[in-house]
Amino acid sequence: MNGFKQFLLRGNVVDLAVGVVIGAAFGGVVTALVKDLLTPLIAAIIQQPDFSALTLTLNGSKFLYGEFINALLSFLIIAAAVYFFVVVPINALIARSKKDPVPADPTTRKCSECLSEIPIDARRCAFCTSTVTRPAVLAS
């Protein structure tokens, strides 16, 4: 029983539970946005709000391809709404809050004779064997 309690109180399980609850609530908001605002707008433009009446009968079997069109349009509208109203603004906020990383101190430099990359502390080039002076910062 102790292990089960530790499993339930572990951070990622609680985070997942919170994510599911928030996701369900957000799903309701997105569904309402699509159903109450975007679908009527599209219906006003194309003058047909519902495709569920479209059917095809073949050898006595009824194919409800209008329902499929409704489901496909609903999916596309929801995906577009989530992308434009959630993903794009969140990405913009994240990009704005990111700071440029501080460049790391160099670990190599160019040999003055052959222009090969050598360690910054090197006194002799491994490629042309010429003696190189140490940088002023390291020499002091």
pLDDT averaged over 10-residue windows placed end to end, the chain, 140 residues:
75 77 85 78 76 86 87 83 85 85 84 89 87 66
Q: What is the pTM of this model?
A: 0.48
Distance CA 8, CA 5 (A): 5
Q: List, in order of start, the domains of the chain with CATH numbers.
A: 2-97 (1.10.1200.120), 104-140 (no CATH)
pLDDT at 19 (0 to 100): 83
pLDDT for 27 equals 82
pLDDT of residue 53: 81
Pull the structure tokens for residue 132: 């190189």
Instruction: List 119's β-bridge partners, or say none.
Output: 108
pLDDT of 140 reads 46
SS (H, E, C) 66-99: HHHHHHHHHHHHHHHHHHHHHHHHHHHHHHHHCC
Q: How far is it, in rounded angstroms, from Cα 92 to Cα 112?
A: 45
Looking at residue 117, its pLDDT comes to 92
Helices H, strands E: what count in the chain? 6, 4
